[in-house]
Amino acid sequence: MARSSSGIVAGLTVAALAAIGFLGYQASATAPAHPQKAVAQTPSPAPSASGAAKADPAKPVAVPAGSGTGMRVVYSIGLKRVWLVDAAGQEPKSFTVMPSTVHPAPGSYTVGNRTGTVTGSDGVPIEHVVRFASTQGITVGFSARVDNTLPEPDPGKKTGGVRMTRTDGDAMWAFATIGTKVVVVS
């Protein structure tokens, strides 16, 4: 009896190890080539005083009215959101951002300068810097932290970096070349 039950246990152990090995292989086959650190989530804007329902995350967020026409980057300070609007009328790419402590006035600007990698005014390594405005002596631009985090900016420092994830920074870099219009809305 001991001999047959030990054979069953050994068979079950082999089957369990094979299943674990197969599941491990499946997991490694679908893992990203370059895993990124978790990104701090930007809180969603609170519903308005009128009690409007929270936006459905599955539905695209509409480009703000009055933000112009044609190819442009639209940056809403209040919504903490950017839209990359092309001239072909396709659904714009939109994503949340972490605004800096210094904001440009609402209006139309132009991308005037770009830098691949640099240290930000807050002392952290950043990439895909797309500069478009200057206010209070501070240059304002879009960028992504190399560590892929989106912390709240230090309110005691005057900084102009509008931060986004590295993936969104890649999209901004490809879209917003020198001369691209940037429309800032409240």
Tell me which DSSP letter residue 124 carries: S
Instruction: Give the separation between CA 151 and CA 146, rounded to whole angstroms.
Output: 13
Q: What is the pLDDT of residue 55?
A: 52
Q: What is the pLDDT of residue 2?
A: 53
Residue 131 has pLDDT above 60, yes or no: yes
Q: What is the pLDDT of residue 174?
A: 97
- Residue 100: CB atoms within 10 Å: 24
Q: CA 39, 43, 45 angle in degrees (round to 5)? A: 145
Q: What is the mean pLDDT of residues 99-115?
A: 97
Domain boundaries, the chain: 1-32, 72-185
Instruction: Give the separation between CA 145 and CA 92, rounded to whole angstroms.
Output: 23
Contact status, residue 97 vs residue 42, Cβ threshold 8 Å: yes
Helix, coil or strand: residue 62: coil
Q: What is the pLDDT of residues 30-54, one digit of tens each?
A: 333 333 443 343 333 433 333 334 4
Q: What is the mean pLDDT of residues 86-107?
A: 93
Contact status, residue 168 vs residue 47, Cβ threshold 8 Å: no
Confidence of residue 115 (pLDDT cuts 50, 70, 90): very high
The third-level CATH classification (topology) of the domain covering 72-185 is L,D-transpeptidase catalytic domain-like (2.40.440)
